[in-house]
Every structure is written in structure tokens, then in C-alpha cells.
Structure 1
Amino acid sequence: MLSISPVPSFSLTSVKSLRFSFFPKVSKFITATSQTPNSTPETITRVNNSGLKLNETVEVTKGKLRLDSWISSRVHGVSRARVQSSIRQGLVSVNGQVIDKVSHNVKAGDEVYCMISKLQPLRAEAEDIPLDIVYEDQHVLVVNKPPHMVVHPAPGNPSGTLVNGILHHCSLPCVAAYSDEEEETFSDDEEMSSVRPGIVHRLDKGTSGLLVVAKDEYSHAHLAEQFKLHTIERVYISLTCGVPSPSQGRIDVPIGRDSNNRIRMAAIPGSLSRGRARHAASRYKVIETLAGGGSALVEWRLETGRTHQIRAHAKYMGVPLLGDEVYGGTKSMALSLLQKRVSRSDQEEIINLVSRMDRPCLHAIVLGFEHPCTGETIKFSCPPPPDLAEIVGLLRRSGRQKVE
């Protein structure tokens, strides 16, 4: 039985402002628009914190408290990844004993000594790659990522990534990669050798849209904390194969690695207590039904940030994203739903568009966060790229019904 809870209607102001009524067919990349801060962030000098020392006693706490989490809460402006690196290098001791396990639990009365490790040189090369920059100041960079671009170098994708392009555009903090069960932004089994300078969160290779990058370590730590506390506003739109029912709701189903396919995640009800998956919650709302019910334009708001969360939850609901071959939104499924619902004059075009769609129809359309240095809340939006805009336009011609 599907675990979907109805939710009260929520505001679509930010999305409606993007004029969903019409996505023009275009042949070039659409320039993103943004709502910029009212004031320019003040100049703040940051040091790299190498050699910074902490010597404190843990105060009374409830429940388990990880060593890396506690140190991160006590050292201002240093990323948790760098704290973990310091622990692994033997630069941290508890009650006089060196601890090299980041998940070591501390308790009230423990004496903790830590020296922050040196910044490590980056292992990513700068490349002259065109970037669609939505906003930039001294501390943060907001980019509209095109589909098919990988965010950071990793085994199998050593170059041509967003990070390579950003390194050519500006310098980035040397923030080490890390992975653990409490981190909301990256998956558990990503290799430590991957390079993510300045990257706080990411989008899948096939997903287009907005992504924020930190240009200094203080901003990285501040933004990472916002993601951890779920205060970042993230809105996505997608095209689904079929129409979600009910038309809006909240999916609270854990997500874990698919036991039958290691490159795929799966929504696994009841798996949280057995440790097979991690808590994942998504809110969705159907904006429009298209092509007589063959597809839908759906808005998603994430409460957590699991790997492939929207794609896995959409599959769980029985309405995989159009173009998502990994999660069931295959070309054959899309055509079986759409061909009989579009006019004869549009059938050839829909076959061509669906056949050319080589990525999930998913776009990060809104991103809002607190500026790490000014404290001002800023929000950005960008329309979908041409491939998604074109197929939405065609499906609307074949029947469109707005959902209030």
C-alpha cells in the first residue's frame, strides 16, 4: 500500500512567477533569472585555519554525540569534511588518547583536543567550460547547470565537470570529500577520492537547474549547516509518465540501495528500523495534467536530500519521470501513454521528441538560502532548458488542465 499523506495546499508563488503558461521553443540555452540581494556582501577576510587548536570539555548532552559533529559545532567556519580529515590524520585526542574514527561517540566530561589539518591541494584541473552563472559575489556562486553535465570529478568522470569549469572561472576552497550516515547531501558509498571543492550539494548528471557553490571555507560550512537543518528552499519540476494520485501529498518512505541493481536507489517501506535505508520525505503537487492524462507537470519540494530521491519516490508512486530509463520511465512506456492521446498531426513529433529525450525530465527551478555572510535570505529561479520546454509545449497542445 502506498504511503502518501495528503497535505494542505502550499504556495506556488515562486513557481507561477516563471509563467508556466508558455515555454517558448528555443534553439539556444535559456538565460536564468534571479532575485539578487538588496546589498552587496561586506568584505570579510578568511584564513585557512590550518593549525587552529581546540581544547575543551564536552558538556552534558542527551543521546549519542559523534566526535566530528561536536568538534564542528565548536570550531567556527571550518567544514565538517576538514574536521573529519583532521581526525583521520591523528590530530584529535579524547582524554589523552588519539582517536582516528570520525564516528567515535563522546560523552559529558570528555576532554577533547583537536588541531585542524592543513588544506590539501586540489586534484581537479581547471577547464575552460562555458557556465550559466545566475549570481556571484565574493562568497557564493549560483549556477544553472545544463543537463548531461556531471557536478564533480570522480572515477569515470575525471574532467568536463562543473567543478572543472568553476576552477577556471574562480578559485575554490580545498574542501575534502567525505561521507557518513548523518550527511544529507551526498550518498553513503561515494568514493573518498572524488573531488568536490566548494560543492555543498549536487544534481544528477541528467538533472538541470540551480546549484549553489561556496567560494570560501566559511561559506561552505555555513551552507552545509543549512542543508543539514533543511532550511534551504529547493523546488523542482518534472514530467511524469501518468498522473500522480492524489494530486498532492507527502511521501515519507525510506530510500536505500536497490538490492537488485547497485546503481539504482529504491523506496523501501519499513526498512528504516532494519537499517537498510535512510529517512526520505518529499512533497509534491500536480500543476497541470497533460495530453489527456498521459503525463503531468509536477512540482516537488524536498524535506531531505537523498540520492535520486525524486526519481525513486516517483517510481514508488507508479508514475516514473518521463525519460528516466533507470527508474521505469522508458521511451516505450511514455509512448504507450502518449501516442493514443495526442492528435494525429502531433504523433510523429511526439515520437521524435520522446525518442530524443535521453535524460529524466527533472529541473531544479527554485533555490533559496540564507547568505552565509550577510544573513539575508536570497532566492533564485530559472526556466527549464529547451529540451524540457519543447516537450511540455507539445503535450499542452494535446490537452492541458491546470490543477488548483
Structure 2
Amino acid sequence: MVSEFHLQIPENSNDAGVRLDRYLSQELPDLSRSRIQQLIEEGNVQLNGKVCTSKKISVKVSDRITLEIPEAQPLELQAEDIPLDILYEDDQLIILNKPAGLVVHPAPGHPDGTLVNALLAHCPNLPGIGGIQRPGIVHRLDKDTTGAIAIAKTELAHHHLQAQLKAKTARREYLGVVYGAPKTENGTIDLPIGRHPQDRKKMAIIPVEQGGRLAVTHWRILERLGNYTLIHFQLETGRTHQIRVHSAKIGHPIVGDPIYGSGRSVGVNLPGQALHAWRLKLQHPISGEMIEVTATPPSQFTKLLDILKKRSDRPNSFTN
């Protein structure tokens, strides 16, 4: 059962100008500040009727705040014998080619059958690395996004890989098929992303002052395929649904995207969006050597390219 707390800052309050997370921790002493920050980031706080995911925003007189605490759903992680496509592995980390349809870690609605469950069977010592419910997970891929994902096998590797992502020294490259034909050959999308104000399952372009987080995506065209385009994306930041939101915002949504796409059929039975984490380059946490892996796109992705190339009378020139 969801618990709700409703607060309103009175006109004679001395709390005007206080950070949202600090104000809530003062008013709700049974909740730790870190827990409140987590609830804010997960979209469980509304400020004046709109979802607010910024813990730093300052509250004002007469502000109305609603805090929801979802029902606790403890997850007992079980090892499951799910096949893994291993691209690289040693005693510090493992890099996999994730298939479509595989959720990265357990969550409400997906208590098992996840990548984490598969990893626990493959790496028995993984529990405890980076968190109970997300052992070893350094970065995520959406359920139906395929491709390269790195998992830490030790606490040292977990901290090191997270630091690389934060410092933007790890390189993540994606392939995506989009609707339409961009006018330029390359570009950069620099638009902040935050939780959608009405739909908590979606992300949207949200100004930083309203809780959005900086998000930068670099792109360049690999092939023009009539009214479709194969694009190479490189992430500078790693926000939830970043490429999907940015692509849709510039008028070229990812083909097959059920949330941000156009809903048009292209004649291929895609499991989801035509987005693939193609290459991953990072520094080994112990040796310091650079590791670069390339994940072969799934058959549905290459089939889609074949069909679009035939329609545009072009040979299939894509190779991984």
C-alpha cells in the first residue's frame, strides 16, 4: 500500500529558500535524507501538482508538496541459468552482449528472469558488489535495447568503472535506426532530461531549474536509407532513455520505440526500439589497459537494415 504525505509551506514559514530534500527531512524525521533523495529522484515527489526530481530546488511560501512512499517489495535474488553472450571476462569485470527483452536488474514487475539473476549463476561471488538488488551493475540498458554492458565483479572494479562513467572517460557508442533524414551529417544534442511531469514511466526534456539533468548526445550519419537513417550515437552522459528522448526531440525518433516513437510499422517484427549498444571502451581497473569490445547487432536489427536498403536500392554495406 502506497503511503502519502501532503505538506504546504505556510506564509509565515522560515523555510522559504530551503532545499526540497532538506525541508522534507525536517518535516518527516522518520525518513533519512538519503531515502528522501532517492524518492525524489525516482519521481515520487510532486511540487505544486507536478513531478519534481530535483533535490536541490528551493521551496517557496505556499508550495504544495506531495510525497509518495511505494510499498516495499523485498526482492530475493535467485541465481538462474540464463545463457549469456560474453564479450570479455576476467576476475575483475565481465562485458556482455545483452539481448532484447532482458531486464538488467530486478524491480517491481520484474522480480526474476533478469540479467542479474543470470549473472548470479555465472558469478557466485557477485552478491554485495555495488548493492543488494543490483550487484555489479555499473550502467544500464533499457529492456529492449541490445548490446554491450559492463558488470563489475569486485568492489574495486565497481568504484573504478563508475568513476570512469562519471568522468566521461569510458566511451559508449550506439547504432540506431531513426525515422526521417536529418539535414546535416552530424551534430550534438545538448538538452537536459528529467522525469516526465505527468507520466512517471517516461522521461522528457526538462529545464535544469525544474529538475532536469544535463544530457549530451553526439551523433553522425552512417547511411541514409530513403526516409530512414542509420545513425552512430556517442553518449557523453548516461541519462535514462537519453538517446530515445533526444532523437524524438529533434524529430527523428528511433524506429520501433513504443514510448517515444511514431508507432508506424516498418515491416519487421522488432522486439522494441532499433537501438544497439555497439561498442564499449573502458580502462581496466587493475592493469590500466584500455579494453574495447564490439557487440554484434541482433538478427532483427540487421534484417531491418537489409529491408530498408532494398527499399532504397542500396546494397547492404554495414559491417560490425
TM-score (norm 1): 0.58
Instruction: Tell me what 1:188 maps to.
Output: none
Deviations 1:33-77 (Å, cap 9, x if unpaired)?
xxxxxxxxxxxxxxxxxxxxxxxxxxxxxxxxxxxxxxxxxxxxx
Shift of 1:176: 4.8
Whole-angstrom distance in 1 between the partners of 2:282 and 2:295: 15
Instruction: Tell me what 2:218 maps to.
Output: 283
For residue 149 of structure 2, give the secondary structure of its aligned residue in structure 1. Answer: strand
Deviations 1:200-254 (Å, cap 9, x if unpaired)?
0010000000001110111101111111101111000000011223221011011
Q: 1:262 aligns with which of 200, 209, 212?
A: 200
Trace 1:2-401 onto structure 2 (pairs within 5 A): 123-170=76-123, 171-177=125-131, 195-268=133-206, 271-272=207-208, 274-290=209-225, 292=226, 294-332=227-265, 335=266, 351=267, 353=268, 356-399=269-312, 400=314
Whole-angstrom distance in 1 between the partners of 2:91 and 2:158: 13
Whole-angstrom distance in 1 between the partners of 2:166 and 2:107: 23
Shift of 1:357: 1.8
Instruction: Tell me what 1:16 maps to.
Output: none
Deviations 1:17-46 (Å, cap 9, x if unpaired)?
xxxxxxxxxxxxxxxxxxxxxxxxxxxxxx
Deviations 1:246-276 (Å, cap 9, x if unpaired)?
22101101111122322111123xx11x233
Q: Which ranges in structure 1 are unaligned for 5 or more consecutive residues?
A: 1-83, 86-102, 105-121, 178-193, 336-350
Instruction: Tell me what 1:29 maps to.
Output: none
Whole-angstrom distance in 1 between the partners of 2:218 and 2:113: 33
Whole-angstrom distance in 1 between the partners of 2:174 and 2:262: 17
For residue 77 of structure 2, give the secondary structure of its aligned residue in structure 1. Answer: coil
Whole-angstrom distance in 2 between the partners of 1:163 and 1:233: 23
Whole-angstrom distance in 1 between the partners of 2:230 and 2:175: 7
Whole-angstrom distance in 1 between the partners of 2:262 and 2:285: 38
Measured on the aligned residues, the alpha-carbon RMSD in Å equals 2.3
Q: Which ranges in structure 2 are unaligned for 5 or more consecutive residues?
A: 1-33, 36-54, 57-74
TM-score (norm 2): 0.73
Query: Residue type of the partner of 2:114?
Result: T
Shift of 1:331: 2.5
For residue 221 of structure 1, give the secondary structure of its aligned residue in structure 2. Answer: helix
Deviations 1:141-196 (Å, cap 9, x if unpaired)?
0110001100011111110000100100112140354xxxxxxxxxxxxxxxx711
Whole-angstrom distance in 1 between the partners of 2:261 and 2:301: 18
Whole-angstrom distance in 2 between the partners of 1:235 and 1:369: 12
Deviations 1:101-158 (Å, cap 9, x if unpaired)?
xx99xxxxxxxxxxxxxxxxx9411000011011111111011000110001111111
Number of residue pairs matched by the alignment: 246
| Relative contact order higher in (CA < 8 Å, ≥ 6 apart) | 1
Q: Is the 8 A contact 1:173 1:216 kept in 2?
A: no
Q: Is the 8 A contact 1:173 1:217 kept in 2?
A: no
